[in-house]
Structure 1
């Protein structure tokens, strides 16, 4: 039997609420109460599963009337989103995070499956194969930013 973690369940729940809408606003405490978990569990799910690399923009407002807004972003409809994605990559990115970016580009139909496969191969640990993990992540970030810049100017 395939057992899902509570994080997977919360992620799926939030995605089901989002459905076909562009954005949702939730209250962290209400979701935590719904799943009988601590609010930090909700923060963890949002911070790790609803990232810009995965095609989401998250904003929050703290306080009594506070909320968390999760917005699905379309990458090429807004060049600013690509710029934010490039900023989020920064000067270093792990293989897993880079692969998440590529999956999002494919899911949003920014790139074809073939282009995605080529990008995955180019950014893989096996291809970069450096003995220095930090140098490998820096090279991966430079390559991915170059790919994104090329995509941005092609549209």
Structure 2
């Protein structure tokens, strides 16, 4: 039997619900009770595994009637999706987050495997690491790629 940590179980549970629905609303404390964990663990899972890079928009409202809403991005609207991804970072982005964005673009058939690998090579630390402003250069390059994809008819 494989062992899964609580974060994996929470993620799998939420993704299973999202298979049948484009959007869900949850209450953090109810989820914490369900998984016998602290509410901050629910936050951790949502903040790290339900990101725009992975195809989700998260909205939360605090307070007594508070909720966390997780919505799958409708990838058919590539222009909107690419604009949202572009707004995720400003003047800098590290290699890990840039790679996550390129991976999501590939998963959603916005980039081919070859295109994705070429962009990964250009954004890699071993390509840009010799520059003191590596994260700024990477951000500029990724912004340019996203803008080009956003306005180019790719089908």
Unpaired segments of 5 or more residues in structure 1?
Answer: none
* Runs of 4+ with deviation above 6 angstroms: none
SS at 1:111's partner residue? coil
Counting only pairs closer than 5 Å after superposition, residues 82-101 of structure 1 correspond to structure 2 as 82-101=82-101
SS at 1:65's partner residue? coil
SS at 1:90's partner residue? coil
TM-score (norm 2): 0.89
State the Cα RMSD in Å.
1.8
Counting only pairs closer than 5 Å after superposition, residues 2-21 of structure 1 correspond to structure 2 as 3-21=3-21
What's 1:42 paired with? Answer: 42
Decide whether aligned partners of structure 1 residues 90 and 36 sit closer, same or farther in structure 2, where only a CA change above 3 A counts.
same
1:103-135 per-residue CA deviation (whole Å, 9 max, x = no partner) reads: 111111111111111111111111212263xx1
Unpaired segments of 5 or more residues in structure 2?
Answer: none
- Distance in 2, matches of 1:5 and 1:93, equals 29
What's 1:145 paired with? Answer: 143
1:47-76 per-residue CA deviation (whole Å, 9 max, x = no partner) reads: 111111221100112222221111111345
Matched, 1:58 2:65: no
